[in-house]
Amino acid sequence: MKIAYISSYPPRECGIATFNHNLLRAIGFDKNAVSEDSFVVAMNDSENMDEYEYPKEVKYIIRQENQKDYIRAADYVNTSLADACILEHEYGIYGGESGVYILPLIARLQKPLITIFHTILKDPNHMQLTVLREIAKYSSRIVVMSHRAVGFLTSIYGIPYHKIQLIEHGVPDLEPKADNPVKNSLVFKGKKVLFTFGLISRNKGLETVIEALPKIVEK
């Protein structure tokens, strides 16, 4: 199956870009290569098309704040041999208020759309609520990564449960090194270590985990 991916993409430094890069390889069953049957429509956070040296799988570039680029990208996907389109959604990577510029693109698409929502807000403002609902309306399937997100979509955003698919956040399939210097570090040796995925930001709630750890350790 040939898939068109709409997302930020490396070498742009962005958590969504990294996620989509890994997803491409996972779906292609080859972590070291991208299937020739799929391509990326990359979101650019600059007006300069040459800002990033994208790999060959990037076939089209959308300048985030250029509305005409979104329409042209939809036409490009429609005339391609793609069987379906995957949209990585985070409000901040699309142009306009709350990423509203993505709506004309998906409304114009003639391919089945699967949307992966990376942020489901508990208290969205009117525009955030409207944008997410519109994306959901045009999506054949919606993917989220937590049970809480499923609850928010149904109770706050009014998204039908049957459109939602829960797929928990994965990690790259790395081959462990026999002699890993990190594991032998005195800081980690003989200790339990907690990890979190994604980039660190204020809204991750990491301080809550840190505050709770002493009581958890006591048990």
pLDDT at 31: 53
- Pairing between β-strand 3-7 and β-strand 113-117 as defined by DSSP bridges: unpaired
* Overall average pLDDT of the 29-34 stretch: 55
Q: 161, 193, 164: which is closest to 180 by C-alpha? A: 193
Q: Can you tell me the distance from the alpha carbon of 29 to that of 125, in angstroms, rounded to the nearest whole number?
A: 39
pLDDT at 142: 98
* Overall average pLDDT of the 70-99 stretch: 97
Q: 120, 114, 191, 186: which is closest to 154 by C-alpha? A: 120
pLDDT at 33: 54
Pairwise pLDDT comparison (155 vs 30), residue with the higher score: 155
Q: Can you tell me the distance from the alpha carbon of 15 to that of 8, in angstroms, rounded to the nearest whole number?
A: 9
The pTM assigned to this predicted structure is 0.83
* Overall average pLDDT of the 80-85 stretch: 96
In sign, the C-alpha dihedral spanning 163, 168, 170, 176 is negative
* Overall average pLDDT of the 9-17 stretch: 93
Least confident of 8-12, 56-60, 114-118, 167-171: 167-171
pLDDT at 35: 57
Q: 186, 120, 210, 113: which is closest to 158 by C-alpha? A: 120
Domains in the chain and their CATH numbers? 3-166 (3.40.50.2000)
User: pLDDT for 143-162, tens place per residue?
Assistant: 999 999 999 999 999 999 99
Percent of the chain exceeding pLDDT 90 equals 69
- Residue 216's pLDDT band (cuts 50, 70, 90): confident
